[in-house]
Amino acid sequence: MSILFINACVRENSRTLVLAKNILSNMSGEVIEVNLNQEDILPLNRELLEKREKLISDEDMNDTMFCYANQFAQADEIVIAAPFWDLSFPAILKTYIEQITVSGITFEYINGRPCGLCKAKSLTYVTTSGGPIFADFGYEYIKALAKNFYGISQTKAYRAMNLDVNMIAVEDVLIKADISVVE
């Protein structure tokens, strides 16, 4: 079983990463990490979008442009770790999502509706915040994509909140944090 771990934690001593690694340690399977901070992922611009559309129309889904989409589609389970920033997540995760949401690889249209092509049946989203989380548009966005585009039926989020309010150090994230699980 392969677990694709998408690491969108950009800080050196990320509390989100501490929580994610603990969750991963309780899962069984080979963990394959994509550290977005170390990848050369570019947002789609006109040139890249034209290239992508040409490759899709030529049905050339093995081009290196689709390496992240193919990897995502083949994973047995997905874990995403992203700190809670501005009611969502860091922009690098959105850029990654642009790279994996590819018609013909992670989804296809049937009768005008997206139908998932991903192997994974579950996705776990991990986030931490310095203050309270009143609305988590990041998880809701990921959940909507998972269920409506990728065909991943089970999603859940682990949230550790108020870490700065309660002055919780990185090493205490799992012990003292207010952690909630949302499905």
pLDDT in tens, 14-66: 999 999 999 999 999 999 999 999 999 999 999 999 999 999 999 999 999 99
pTM of the model: 0.94
Supply the range of the domain harboring residue 116: 2-182
User: What is the total count of domains within the chain?
Assistant: 1
Q: What pLDDT was estimated at residue 164?
A: 85
**Burial bucket for residue 139 (CB in 10 Å: 0-12, 13-18, 19+):** buried
Q: What pLDDT was estimated at residue 179?
A: 74
Listed in sequence order, the residues at least 6 apart from 10 whose beta carbon sits closer than 8 Å to its beta carbon are: 36, 37, 83, 90, 92
Average pLDDT over residues 160-180: 76
Average pLDDT over residues 65-88: 96
Is the confidence at residue 170, as pLDDT, over 80?
no
Structure confidence by residue, pLDDT tens digits, 85-101: 989 999 999 999 999 99
The enclosing domain of 117 has a CATH number of: 3.40.50.360
104-111 contacts at long range (C-beta below 8 A, 24 or more positions apart): 104/56, 104/59, 104/61, 105/61, 105/66, 105/69, 105/70, 105/73, 106/69, 106/72, 106/73, 106/149, 106/150, 107/149, 107/150, 107/151
Q: What pLDDT was estimated at residue 169?
A: 75
Q: What pLDDT was estimated at residue 146?
A: 98
Residue % of the chain over a pLDDT of 70: 97
Mean residue pLDDT across the chain: 93
